[in-house]
Each structure stands twice: as C-alpha cells, then as structure tokens.
Amino acid sequence: MQTEGISRRAILGGGAATAGALTLGPLLGNTAVAADNATPAGAAAAQAAKTDYAAIGVRPLINGRGTFTVLSGSLMLPEVRNAIDKAAREYVQLDELADAIGKRLGELTQSEFGLVSSGCSAALGHAAAACVAGGNPDLHVQLPDLTGFRKTEAIIPRHSRNVYEAAISATGLKVVEVDTREELKAALGPQTALVYIMAMPRVDASELDTRTICDIAHAANVPVLVDAAAEILTIPNVHLERGADLVAYSGGKALRGPQSAGILLGREDLVRAAWVHSAPHHGWARGFKVGKEEAMGMLAAVEMWVQRDHEAEYATWTSWLKTISRRVSVVDGVSSEILQPEGLSNRTPSLRILWNAAKLGVAGQTIVDTLYNGAPRIAINAASSGGQTGLSITPYMLEPSNEKTIADEVVKLLKNPPAAPEPPKPPTVDATGTWALKITYAAGTSTAHELKLSQDGARITGTHSGEFVSRPATGSVSGATVSVRSRYGEEHGDSLDYTFTGTVDGDGFSGDLSLGEYLGASFTATRQS
C-alpha cells in the first residue's frame, strides 16, 4: 500500500473502518471514565491529587514545550488510568499476558505482533538482543558479552546517529557507521545483527532512505529496526510498509499511555524473541521490567489511539494557539505565526511569536527563563528568526485554559519586561593557559579534566579534555568572570554538554558547572606553569 501523499486523516486515524468497530469493552470495563472528574467527589479527589507534588516541595508546570521525558512526557488518558487501576486489582501470569497483548496489538496496529516495553529505549534494546540471539536462552544469558557470537555488529547510517543508540550498543554490539549505499553494502555481512534507523524527515530525503536501506539489508538477510519514539502511530504502519522489520514507539508521548512504557511492533518471530530478552526473564534486561499495570495501560492507550478523533484534537490545539496569537497581538511590534509540522514526529502545530529585542527591551530567552521560574510555572521554548527574538509554543501537552494562562503571562512580560541580563564588562583577567580541573559532581568527583584556553580580547577558544573524549571549547570573558562551553554532540551517538562559569583570580579559576541533563556541579582549577 502506498503511504506517501496519504491524507492526514488516513495517517492519524488509520483504519477508519476497523476503528469504529473496536471498543475498550472487557479491557477497560464498562465504567465511563472520560468524565471521571464530573462529580463533586471526583473533582475533590482530582484537586487532592494535584497537591501531592507540592507537599514534597516539587512545583508542577504548564507544559508548552512538548513530549520531553525530562518534563514527564504526556498526561495519561483517563481510560489509561482506569485500565491501570483495574489491572492492579488482580494477579496474572506475565508470559500469558504478553502473549495476549502481543496478539491484540498486532490486530490494532495491523502488524504481525506487538510487545509492551518499559519505554522506547527498552524496546530498542530488546529488539537488538532478539536480532543478536533470537529467542535462545543459552545465548541470552551471555549478553552483553558477545565472545564467540556470530552477530556482533549493528550498522547505523550517519544521519541516524543519536544518544538513544546506547540501547543498541548496550547489548554488546559494535556500532558501524555508514554514509552511502556502497558503504552500507560493504559493511553488511554475517557479523551484522541489524541496521538501526532513527525516524526523522532527513532520513527519507537522503541517499540512504528507509526503503533503500531495507532493500539492501534484506538482500543480506539483515533485519531493519526503526526508532519512532516521538512519532504518531500510523496504521497501517508507514515504516513497516517501507520494509522495516521492527518499529518502536514511546508510550508516554503521542499515545498518552504510561510514561514508563513503550511498544515494539513488527515481525512476530523477532518481537517474540524480544520478549525472551525482557523481564520477568533474567539476564542483562531484567531491570527493564514492565508490570501488569503498565502493560494494560499501554494497551488501553493503543485501543484509544484508534478511536480518538485526531482531527478534532488538532483543531483544538490550533484554536489554543489562535487564542494566544490574538492576545499577544495587542503588544505593538509583536508578530506571530502558526507553523504546521513536517513529518510524523510530535505531530502538532506550533506558534512562533517574534519581536525586535532592542525595541521591546527584552529577549525571548529572558521571558522563557522568567516564566519557568515564575508562578504559575510555564515551560515554553525560545525562538528567533530574521534577526528577531521570540518564543515558540507547542500545544500538544496543554490542558484546557492553559492557553489563556500562557497568553496572560506572556503579554504581561512583553508589556513590562523583566530586567535584562547585565551587559558584558571589559575583561580584567587573562584566562590563557592550561587549567587542571577538579570537578565535584552531584555524586562523586573527578580530577581528570583539563582546559587549554587562548584568550583574544573577550573571546575564548581552546579544548576541553576529560575521561571520555577531547572536544573544542569556546567562551567569553566579562570582567573577571569567565564562561567556557564544550559540547560533544549526538552526531557521534553520545551527548555531553559542559559550561564552566566562574571567576579567575591569578592562577585560580572556580565556579559552577552546568552539565545539561546531568544536573549541576562545581569546579576549581589551577593554571599550570
């Protein structure tokens, strides 16, 4: 079946003829759960539930960024919460449950079989293990030690290198990078366990698009795994139709299932083997446990996916963005535009708000930071275009009335901007030299890092070396304050982001270290003679 050029309804609704016939019936019970907060008792319980975070000092937020895991993904549907609650009230045998859910997921998604995992990353790991060892327990218990194994390599095209491929290499596989058809053909052999693709628009615009990869890999009897974590679930599945053998999704993003769940779909023999390589079975993946609650909750999310009115949801998101757009338009010099998405990932519209920073006296990032640290706490993104600064808002994770709150707070800050960051001062120190670092992480310390810096006026260049790798460093100087950043990007299959900000005093340099996703740290450094 042709998938390019199909309509939004065909992509999102998928299998309209079957969707109308599917019901949650025995899976979710006959209780109406969509209006679970309709009664006074229900509303009181919902309000009480919302106070639990505050009781332990955690501040909830309004999510206008999207389905980011660090922001706890998406909110589970009421039907999913109900399925989890019902599943928690009885015991089952997990192998039997996996078999029944696998068949049902296959029916719902028009694939051969399905598996619920503890997130998309776990699904990728289980799939890789299945491609290495099949369903053979004697081989399974040896992972990730591949000594004596025939299949020891995973091929990843350069366009698909990313931090999530760690799930593939965790099985012991060596990653082999390719960039052309000829390189792919040359790399394939009896040692190749699989080819891994990260689903994104640039893949199918490249020489190594999904169809091409699948054709070449299948000629060598090598399966292809697609990571579609952030994508909508297409039915029939666009990746399987293009030739992929397996495709994995996050459960806590577009599907609005449990954040700690994901699904793997595709060839029944490989998906069943992937189950062998998951808990409750032992071995390397025992820690990736899926309880009966997450399993049934994830199934409920897929059941709901084929019943949800995706067109109506999209219209609602667009209406929220129009509300914000109308409200910010009252501020002179502010423009806004609703942008439509490309591809299938995080398939929602977004709103871009732009203005001249000099005229309004505030940058987009300053407003982003103020909203995130304010009350109510609001998470949105900074944006820029054509020399203008601004904001970007994604509506998928918003709840009704959030759009009005965001609009009110943004307009307030545009009309009465927060204080701008202090402008840079002329340098009063010279940070040139080799600096031996001591880093105190949130847990543990390291003395193996080194900065080699050169200063030209207020500009810093150099290198940052650590336990893992040496990478370029850049930075700036303001008075006696020096800021130096190094980044090792996803194009290598890893991601490390270090920003050292501190004061130089003679041959000493100390301050705070921002590590991106790895929390904060502090450092001291001594300039070497």
Look-up of token digits 């000829």: 182
490 assigned to some structural domain: yes
Compute the Cα dihedral for 31, 33, 38, 44 and give only its sign: positive
- Give residue 314's pLDDT: 94
Parallel, antiparallel or unpaired: strands 388-393 and 381-385: antiparallel
Q: What is the DSSP string of 301-355?
A: HHHHHTTS-HHHHHHHHHHHHHHHHHHHTTSTT-EEEEEPP-SSBT---EEEEEE
pLDDT (tens place) for every residue of the chain, 529 residues total: 333 333 333 333 333 333 333 333 334 433 333 444 444 555 555 555 566 898 999 999 999 999 999 999 999 999 999 999 999 999 999 999 999 999 999 999 999 999 999 999 999 999 999 999 999 999 999 999 999 999 999 999 999 999 999 999 999 999 999 999 999 999 999 999 999 999 988 887 889 999 999 999 999 999 999 999 999 999 999 999 999 999 999 999 999 999 999 999 999 999 999 999 999 999 988 999 999 999 999 999 999 999 999 999 999 999 999 999 999 999 999 999 999 887 666 678 999 999 999 999 999 999 999 999 999 999 999 999 999 999 999 999 999 999 999 999 999 999 999 988 888 999 999 999 999 999 999 999 999 999 999 999 999 999 999 998 899 999 999 999 999 999 987 777 788 999 999 999 999 999 999 998 888 999 999 999 8
pLDDT for res 247: 98
Which pLDDT score is estimated for 201?
82
- State the DSSP code for 226: E
> Could you say which DSSP state residue 418 is in?
P
Shared domain for 242 and 106, answered yes or no, is yes
Do 335 and 391 lie in a common domain? yes
Q: Are residues 84 and 137 in the same domain?
A: yes
Residue 442 is part of a domain; what is its CATH number?
2.40.128.120
Q: Given 415, 447, 464, which residue is the final one in a domain?
A: 415
- Smallest CA-to-CA distance from 498 within 521, 525, 480 is with 521
**Structural domain boundaries enclosing 283:** 74-305
Residues 252 and 340 in one domain: no
Number of domains the chain contains: 3
Which among 196, 54, 36, 55 is positioned nearest to 131, based on CA atoms?
Answer: 196
Q: Is residue 364 part of a domain?
A: yes
pLDDT value at residue 420:
80
Rounded Cα gap, residues 231 and 73, in angstroms: 13
Query: Residues 27-36: contacts with CB within 8 Å, 24+ apart?
Result: 27/83, 27/296, 27/299, 27/300, 27/303, 28/79, 28/82, 28/83, 28/86, 28/300, 28/303, 29/82, 29/86, 31/82, 33/78, 33/79, 33/81, 33/82, 34/78, 34/79, 36/78, 36/81, 36/82
Would 350 be classed as within a structural domain?
A: yes
- Alpha-carbon distance 155 to 368, whole Å? 39
53 located within any domain? no
Residue 124 shares a structural domain with residue 192? yes
Q: What is the pLDDT of residue 348?
A: 87
Token pair for 20: 């109308």
Q: pTM for the full model?
A: 0.86
In this structure, the answer to whether residues 99 and 227 fall within a common structural domain is yes
State whether 256 and 331 are in the same domain. no
Q: Which CATH number belongs to the domain containing residue 367 in this structure?
A: 3.90.1150.180
Q: Which amino acid appears at position 155 of this protein?
A: I
198, exposed or middle or buried, with CB in 10 Å at 0-12, 13-18, 19+?
buried
> Which tokens sit at 184?
């792919």
| pLDDT confidence of residue 46 | 54
CA distance 344 to 486: 32
